Structure 1
Amino acid sequence: MPVVTTAQLVKLQSRTENIRNICILAHVDHGKTTLSDSLLASNGIISSKLAGKVRYLDSREDEQERGITMEASGISLYFQILRKSMEGEEIIKNSDEYLINLIDAPGHVDFSSEVSTASRLCDGALILVDVVEGVCTQTHTVLRQAWVENVRPILVLNKIDRLITELKLTPLEAQVHLNKIVEQVNAIVGTYFAGDVIGEETKRHEAEKERQLRQEKELESESSTEIAFEEHDDSNIYFTPESGNVIFASALDGWAFRIDQFAQIYATRLGIKESILCKVLWGDYYLDPKTKRFLQQKHLKGRQLKPMFVQFVLENIWAVYDSVIINNNREKIEKIVKSLQLKVLPRDMRSKDTRTLLTSMFNQWLPLSTAVLLDKLPSPIVAQPVRLPRILSIDVKEKPINEVERGLFSCDTSDSAPVVAYVSKMFAVHSDMLPENRRKQFSAEELREKGRLQRIARLHSSDTRVEEKLVLDATASDINHSEIPISESLDASLEQLHLQSTIDSENVVVSQQKPSEETFIGFSRLYSGTIRVGQKLYVLGPKYDPAFPDKHCSEITVKSLYLMMGKEMESLQEVPAGNVFGIGGLEGHILKNGTLSSTKECKNLAGVTLESAPIVRVALEPADPSEINKLSEGLRLLNQADPCVEVLVQETGEHVILTAGEVHLERCLRDLKERFAKIEIQVSPPIVPFRETIVPVSEHQPNKDNVQRGVVTLSTPNKYCTIKVRTVPLPSNVTAFLNQHAITIKSIMDERQQRNKIDLHATEEYEDAIKDITIKGECILSFDEFSNLLQLEFDKAGGNEIWKNVVENIWAFGPKRVGPNLLINNIHNYTRRSWQKYFSDTKMSGSLSSDINEVNSKFVEERASLELSIRDFEEGIHTGFQLATKTGPLCAEPLMGVAYFLEDFTISIDYENVDISEIRQKLSGYVITTMRDACLQGFLELSPRLMLAMYSCDIQATTEALGRVYAVISRRRGRIISDELKDGTPFFQICALLPVVESFGFADEIRKRTSGAAIPQLIFSGFEMLDEDPFWVPTTEEELEDLGEKSDRENLAKKYMENVRKRKGMSTDKKIVEHAEKQRTLKKK
């Protein structure tokens, strides 16, 4: 294949209908990068023999070392397809040229954020599945990501060669195996479809309910239109080979095919229409050799016929592998080459490397690029009207209402169209790798010209007398004035040489003086307009709202545009809509992602769903304390270059980074040391999060003061206020519900916070609060459903009267106002404004100004009164609750699943002898600390427990390695959830739960123990209670007899608790002298 030039690719960028933006998604080691290499070989970028070995798009050194992709990288490819059309009796071949913007995304679970950024830029996705390993953990993730982003997926069943060479399956067994994989993938897609339908139906019922309430209120006529039920068609969402969205491939051997390719081959031979063959070449269809009719299984009548997919497709491929790889039969190979009309070089026929011969044959017979890059993947013109409504959160059926939406939906490339681009991520490249800083490569003509000028210079410096003689002769002689004197020609050449040498020397000086540094480039997709170098655009941040155009918005000038070619880049002057490109000049304006637009009326396109949340954190400090500024700058660059990492500075000044997993952490530390900070860094042991909770205890067990356990009464230090709090564990289903809906709680609390600002003066902030209330209507609509579902969860728990109608009395959530802990008002003679009333429809439909006046008048009256009430300390009570739930009493970790009932709040003050305003100020601080202490004391009076962060661990292992896998999991205090043998394979699929605190080094250990036969995938699954009391000591006679006073059995909860307390600098029960009763051996004098 001849090498494709940059000019050819740039020319195709303006032909939007022939552009395909594709990402490759799969589980780790399912063949994504090998498939990319095979496609690159079709453009002459690498040799076809090196496909799968060079891993061209894995440009990082650690990617090559580990053999996995860590960063999404893109490349633009040229693809030409020949189409045959009939005009009369003549067959005319038409050539169509396509530009393929290909993005290779990682498959490791730690880099799921890269999958999110890649899928947003593309219109189609190749979902690869290893046919031996089948559907794995990350297969679910990438299918979900493709569904969320509304990307059209193509299923690629890869590594079919392993069915032949490793599993030794027959063609008939292989068809059954492949059919099961397709069914599994379709079952996953079906669950996503069902979830969306249920969500839409829920919204429809809410809208119908609201319409009925409005009809009753406004007495609308009965003829008002009802919202009709809408049927959802799921026929086009599934993968079926006959529809062309399933590809059978072996990327390593460089071949792939679709059903319609074989249908085209056999249509002329069998005299059957190609469209009919496409429908019967997959499934339980059989060809009657006598009647040439297609039969289904029920019509076989006992005849042993082979399915058509086996007979016409798989047996041919099996025959090639049998002749070339398994038996290496030269005669059969020559027959196959002759029958398929292939051109195989004699050296390939004589080669001892049978894979080379196999690849050469398949590249001509079933080329991979022809099957993969097909018409089933949409162009930007077709894809954007389908994808953008979901990104913009509008209905697909709605027509564009303004110029920006019209440009986005039509992928308008005209100069008058508004420019709208999405920056998916910022990635760092070395400055020397940029095209403008690359050393210029001279052509042969330029080198000859440079040599000629140097020869003239040498001649001029060595013989000045010859030059003088030539000048005198030219002056004295009678010459034609139209000719150029030799001296002038020589001077001109010398001047040109001097200028060239000056430029070269300046370039050398600049390159020597310019420090080695990283430059950030935006990985972008243009949806509308044409972007040019020097153009001024607005950068819209993730929080940008068109209603407030001056917030989260800045203006930039486009400094540079790049064509993405893997680790290389080529400069561009302009990019039309529909293309994926790189853009420079965004440093200081975009942190991780953002939107570029020529108008401020554009909606924000940012906000990518990240599948993997960062869970592993470490503290960093420089080996040399004087280089702390370099570390801070390096962390800033790392935070911008990685879409998933989080960088924090603790209150103590400690620098902390949060990563998605152990492999992600290693990559971040390597980047810090070698690219961004370039200093030696000391890394703390991984900081693993814990949670603190309580379990129910028997109600007949009072505490030492003969009071019900969990009920605490405390007074402030000056005895003016007394607080009574009852601590109760939340039902497990309620805790899980609150964790699942943390985003909903946050949106509700943000809304409430904005409403509280109404009490302020009529300032700009006050006006913004009013605007926010009128804009954020979705939060109000979803609130009723949230509160109803929450009360339903309490009702499910049952068994306790305290949960009856408890939602109406919720005061706050914690910690951070959104956590899975509740503060509940249970004071009988005190009625505070329920949080639900902030979101009632009557408040929103009524006059906002009257609500403001009512709140302000009550507040003024209470402030003017001569006596204090609980309303003066509501904020202090709430703050104390937040502090208690943020740092628990065991090891200062957040609480989970705890409810605090405020039973009583009494004030005892002699108002005649005190200053009310002074007392109010002092008591505010006292109430905070007293409320916090009461909550923590009530927590300790019950039975406290630690909750461990858990990984869900998926492992595929052979029967021989199964026992060693179990041993490693057991030693790491994990537990097996399920294990089952995958049908048709020798692999067991093991699912286990593993504590995060025990997971470090787990992958390396399991690979060593199994000799690389098992590779785990760890995904954070939540928190699980460790059912051990950290304060347990043997007390009964049996326990003392079995364990002794020192309790030789290890208390795991106490061990974890003390390790965390020691790390945080808190006191521990660790004794300096462990056993003081031992006999002393020191000699007394």
Structure 2
Amino acid sequence: MVCEKVPAPSKLTDEKIERLISGNNDFSTLPLETQRLKTAFLLCDPSPDVPVIVFVSKMFLVERDMLPENRPKSLTSEELAQRREIVRQKHAEQLERKTVSENHEESTYNSVASKNEEVSMKEENVTDDKSDGALVAFARVYSGSIKIGDEVFVLGPKHNPSVALEREKAGEQVDSSLVLKDLKPGRHITKVTVSKLYILMGRELEAVSKIPAGNVFGIGGLEEHVLKTATLSTTIACPSFTELTSLAVPILRVALEPKHPNDLPKLINGLKLLNQADACAIVHMQETGEIVLSTAGEVHLERCLEDLKLRYAKVDINVSDPIVPFRETIVPPPKLDMVNEAIEKKMEEGRLEIWTSNRQCYFEIDAKPLPENVTKLLEKNINLIKLLDSYCDRGVEKNGEHGNISGESQPSERFMSDKKQKEAKIFKNELEAAFLEAGWKDNILDKIWSFGPRKCGLNILLNETDYKQKKYWEQQNTNVDSRTIYESSIVNGFQLATLAGPLCEEPMMGVCFFLKKWEIFDTSQSDSSGQSQGHLAGQLMSACKEACRRIFSLRHPRLMTAVYSCSVLVNSDVLGE
């Protein structure tokens, strides 16, 4: 695709600007400092008085020899004269060596040869370093002018201006020495001094000192501050622009390893460059320690592997067969046998009874397949469930004793936009209707304890005990039950079980677990009550995980394979051929 003319930022409509600034949130809910930036977008003013706003849409690799600062320069007459003088001196030294004795000449020759070898090796190393590529950020200025020497904030994709402004008012400052890998969870701002600016002239880069608003350009030196996309601004009130939506979704996954184990650091560095330079490639490490590369297809995979071998890592790589994802589920008991005869109804299988190892906690659990419509509805609203979980602060104690096993930091804000509240209400009504349509009892939504795995999966934990848990759809919890402090242990055990099922350690899908009974017996086995609570919490989490896996194995478990579906558009002439 070739674009002949890029419209100026000042041609943007108010609706597009508000959508660009607010993303999926409502523009009216943003801080006043952020809403005022709309005027800067409309003006597209290059004057130094307005805030600088730059959007980095991608990172691309350029050979270091192609950078303007590394190009060979023409020599002046003075430099040529100096080099001639150096050559004359070397020639005179060679003539003097011929007058020395033969033995002395041989020893001198050997020492010079060894020195030349060392120098040549050093030069080879230098040339190897110079042959590596450098990442350049592809960006556009929407407001102000950016010039060499300016200090700007690098705002990550998860940057929230409301939280950043609150921290700034509290006296927190952004450390300019930090890079992306040094940021703590919940921090998405770094500070950088602009050192390299380029005008993109086709495949050529021309170094400049200043870029006014409206221009598309390149920035160097942001490798350690930008992963794929980012927003540069002189104010932290600027929101992070919404990442570009790609139509190509990574569906082909392979595991990579170097042929020689010593080349593992080179492979990791090469994968980092590939992950930054290719927007459709995703590199991650699984729980098993395998390095997995996800690409958009077979052709894309071949291109990524070629770039890894020839440009980024420059090592030989072993590539596994495509990784096919599985899901573990359970099905209703069969009604017909192998010869299509009705199976006589047996006595209903009982629930599973579990005790903790110290015999202090007892609970009963059962499992049942979720209705198909419910599973599809959960799959459709995974992002909304994740947002609801963050809003309700599920599974995390206020005192911080029991953390979230998913490793995701909970956001500090507790405000949902009107748009998201409407979506949550619609999702709740649709979920209730799907359960009623399948013949389940009323008030199922009030019994929902958690979704899993990772608090947003396609499995549900229901509470049917006498314990009144905090409702999933409510934020406050006024329960004074003594079992409240162990609530997160039950939830985390359920999360661990649904993350890796008993069949082949793959995530579960479409399973509903019922907690039928839960009792804790007070036994003073330890002098320290805090230590006793910690031991019981760990044992309860392990027991809940094992109980979910065992009841899953008793309820007709099955494996589900992935299915690729697509729509093919052709002319009517070729239909039926």
* Structure 2 length-normalised TM: 0.77
2:563 alignment partner, SS class:
strand
CA contact (8 A) 2:391 2:415 kept: no
Aligned amino acid, residue 938 of structure 1: I
Give distance in 1, aligned partners of 2:191 and 2:27: 30
1:879 corresponds to 2:492: yes
1:903-935 superposed Cα distances (whole Å, 9 cap, x missing partner): 1123456x4777684654443333223322322
1:547 alignment partner, SS class:
helix
CA contact (8 A) 2:392 2:473 kept: no
Query: Deviation at 1:406?
Result: 1.0
Aligned to 1:337: none
Among 372, 375, 379, which residue is 1:735 paired with? Answer: 375
1:808 corresponds to 2:446: yes
Give distance in 1, aligned partners of 2:500 and 2:227: 31
1:987 corresponds to 2:552: no
Aligned to 1:624: 260
Aligned amino acid, residue 982 of structure 1: N
1:546 corresponds to 2:185: no
Give distance in 2, aligned partners of 1:913 and 1:815: 34
Counterparts in 2 of 1:586 and 1:771: CA distance versus 1, 3 Å: same
Among 409, 415, 418, which residue is 2:51 paired with? Answer: 418
Aligned amino acid, residue 391 of structure 2: E
Query: Deviation at 1:434?
Result: 1.4
CA contact (8 A) 1:755 1:770 kept: no
Counterparts in 2 of 1:417 and 1:989: CA distance versus 1, 3 Å: farther
CA contact (8 A) 1:755 1:769 kept: no
CA contact (8 A) 1:422 1:606 kept: no
Aligned amino acid, residue 18 of structure 2: P
In structure 1, the gaps of 5 or more residues are 1-23, 25-35, 37-73, 78-99, 102-377, 462-507, 762-767, 844-850, 863-869, 957-980, 991-1085
Query: Deviation at 1:936?
Result: 2.1
Counterparts in 2 of 1:819 and 1:452: CA distance versus 1, 3 Å: closer
Residue pairs, 1:230-249, within 5 angstroms: none
Tell me: higher relative CO, structure 1 or 2? Use CA pairs within 8 A at least 6 residues apart. 2
Query: Deviation at 1:678?
Result: 1.1
Aligned to 1:1019: none
CA contact (8 A) 2:392 2:474 kept: no
1:525 alignment partner, SS class:
strand
Aligned to 1:49: none
CA contact (8 A) 2:17 2:38 kept: no
| Equivalent pairs, count | 504
2:47 alignment partner, SS class:
coil
1:607 alignment partner, SS class:
coil
Query: Deviation at 1:451?
Result: 13
Give distance in 1, aligned partners of 2:265 and 2:551: 44
1:515 alignment partner, SS class:
helix
Counterparts in 2 of 1:882 and 1:913: CA distance versus 1, 3 Å: closer
Give distance in 2, aligned partners of 1:934 and 1:807: 23
Give distance in 2, aligned partners of 1:439 and 1:452: 15
1:542 alignment partner, SS class:
coil
Among 56, 69, 76, which residue is 1:436 paired with? Answer: 69
Counterparts in 2 of 1:387 and 1:770: CA distance versus 1, 3 Å: closer
1:427 corresponds to 2:60: yes
Give distance in 1, aligned partners of 2:11 and 2:66: 35
Among 717, 721, 726, which residue is 2:366 paired with? Answer: 726
Aligned to 2:17: 388
1:410-434 superposed Cα distances (whole Å, 9 cap, x missing partner): 2222232211010011111111111
CA contact (8 A) 2:145 2:210 kept: yes
CA contact (8 A) 2:33 2:237 kept: no
Counterparts in 2 of 1:837 and 1:385: CA distance versus 1, 3 Å: closer
Aligned to 2:385: 745
Aligned amino acid, residue 744 of structure 1: L
Aligned to 1:569: 205
Among 258, 270, 276, which residue is 1:640 paired with? Answer: 276
Counterparts in 2 of 1:692 and 1:514: CA distance versus 1, 3 Å: closer
Query: Deviation at 1:713?
Result: 2.4
1:284-322 superposed Cα distances (whole Å, 9 cap, x missing partner): xxxxxxxxxxxxxxxxxxxxxxxxxxxxxxxxxxxxxxx
Counterparts in 2 of 1:770 and 1:615: CA distance versus 1, 3 Å: closer
Aligned amino acid, residue 679 of structure 1: V
Give distance in 2, aligned partners of 1:833 and 1:395: 32
Aligned to 1:906: 519
Aligned to 2:150: 535
1:990-1047 superposed Cα distances (whole Å, 9 cap, x missing partner): 9xxxxxxxxxxxxxxxxxxxxxxxxxxxxxxxxxxxxxxxxxxxxxxxxxxxxxxxxx
Query: Deviation at 1:594?
Result: 0.5
Aligned to 1:51: none
Give distance in 2, aligned partners of 1:613 and 1:806: 35
CA contact (8 A) 1:699 1:708 kept: no
1:548 alignment partner, SS class:
helix
CA contact (8 A) 1:384 1:411 kept: no
Give distance in 2, aligned partners of 1:900 and 1:949: 24
CA contact (8 A) 1:523 1:581 kept: yes
Give distance in 2, aligned partners of 1:730 and 1:884: 16
- From the CA coordinates, give the structure whose radius of gyration is larger: 1
1:20-63 superposed Cα distances (whole Å, 9 cap, x missing partner): xxxx3xxxxxxxxxxx4xxxxxxxxxxxxxxxxxxxxxxxxxxx
2:272 alignment partner, SS class:
helix
Aligned amino acid, residue 601 of structure 1: A
1:835 alignment partner, SS class:
coil
Aligned to 1:837: 474
Give distance in 1, aligned partners of 2:328 and 2:391: 29
1:557-606 superposed Cα distances (whole Å, 9 cap, x missing partner): 21222222333222222222122211112121111110001222212214
1:687 corresponds to 2:323: yes
1:834 alignment partner, SS class:
coil
Query: Deviation at 1:871?
Result: 3.3
In structure 2, the gaps of 5 or more residues are 90-122, 165-173, 175-186, 338-342, 402-408
Among 890, 902, 927, which residue is 2:503 paired with? Answer: 890
Give distance in 1, aligned partners of 2:64 and 2:420: 46
1:772 alignment partner, SS class:
coil
1:543 alignment partner, SS class:
coil
Query: Deviation at 1:876?
Result: 2.0
Aligned amino acid, residue 617 of structure 1: R
Give distance in 2, aligned partners of 1:429 and 1:690: 39
Query: Deviation at 1:900?
Result: 0.7
Query: Deviation at 1:666?
Result: 1.8
Among 633, 643, 666, which residue is 2:302 paired with? Answer: 666
1:434-472 superposed Cα distances (whole Å, 9 cap, x missing partner): 122223479xxx8xx799979x99xx99xxxxxxxxxxx
Aligned to 2:432: 791
1:927 alignment partner, SS class:
helix
Give distance in 1, aligned partners of 2:80 and 2:365: 95
Counterparts in 2 of 1:770 and 1:629: CA distance versus 1, 3 Å: closer
Give distance in 2, aligned partners of 1:587 and 1:760: 35
CA contact (8 A) 1:710 1:939 kept: no
Counterparts in 2 of 1:631 and 1:943: CA distance versus 1, 3 Å: same
1:836 alignment partner, SS class:
coil
Counterparts in 2 of 1:718 and 1:675: CA distance versus 1, 3 Å: same
